[in-house]
Every structure is written in C-alpha cells, then in structure tokens.
C-alpha cells in the first residue's frame, strides 16, 4: 500500500481497509428513508432560522418520526 501525499505519506488505505472486518453492520428499519427525509427537512428549516433553537428543531423531527 502506497503512502498518500495528503496524509503526510501515511498509507491510510491500508489502515482503513484493515479495520473493515471490525466494523459492526448498522441495522436500519423499513422506515429509515422516511426518517432521513424528515431529518433533512427539519435541518434545512433550522439552518434557515425556522426554529428558535436546536431543541425545538429536534423536538419537531422527533414528533414527525414517532
């Protein structure tokens, strides 16, 4: 594995690929994509100033997902 100039010559792909067997798969649900759409929408609204604070945005997302 060759060193990567951006990473100061470190062979990062050797490290990354070597850790893959240790990564535990993430379990989703059939509704995962629905929740992601809601989160993106709320995040966009939050970044546009549509909520008084982050808690209000999170509460809104949670109420839509629940």
* Reported pTM: 0.58
pLDDT per position as a tens digit, 3-50: 899 989 999 999 899 999 999 988 888 899 999 999 999 999 999 999
Contact 57, 40 (CB under 8 A): no
Could you tell me where the DSSP H helices lie in 1-66?
Answer: 12-19, 32-47, 54-65
Predicted pLDDT at 2: 86
pLDDT > 80? residue 1: no
Q: How confident is the model at residue 53 (pLDDT cuts 50, 70, 90)?
A: very high
Domain count, the chain: 1
Nearest CA among 61, 63, 27 for reference residue 43: 61
What is the span of the domain harbouring residue 51? 5-65
């Amino acid at each position: 594995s060759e060193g990567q100039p951006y990473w100061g010559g470190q062979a990062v792909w050797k490290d990354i690929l070597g850790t893959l067997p240790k990564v535990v798969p993430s379990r989703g649900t059939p509704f995962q994509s629905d929740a992601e759409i809601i989160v993106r929408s709320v995040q966009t609204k939050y970044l546009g100033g549509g909520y008084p604070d982050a808690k209000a945005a999170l509460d809104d997302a949670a109420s839509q997902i629940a």
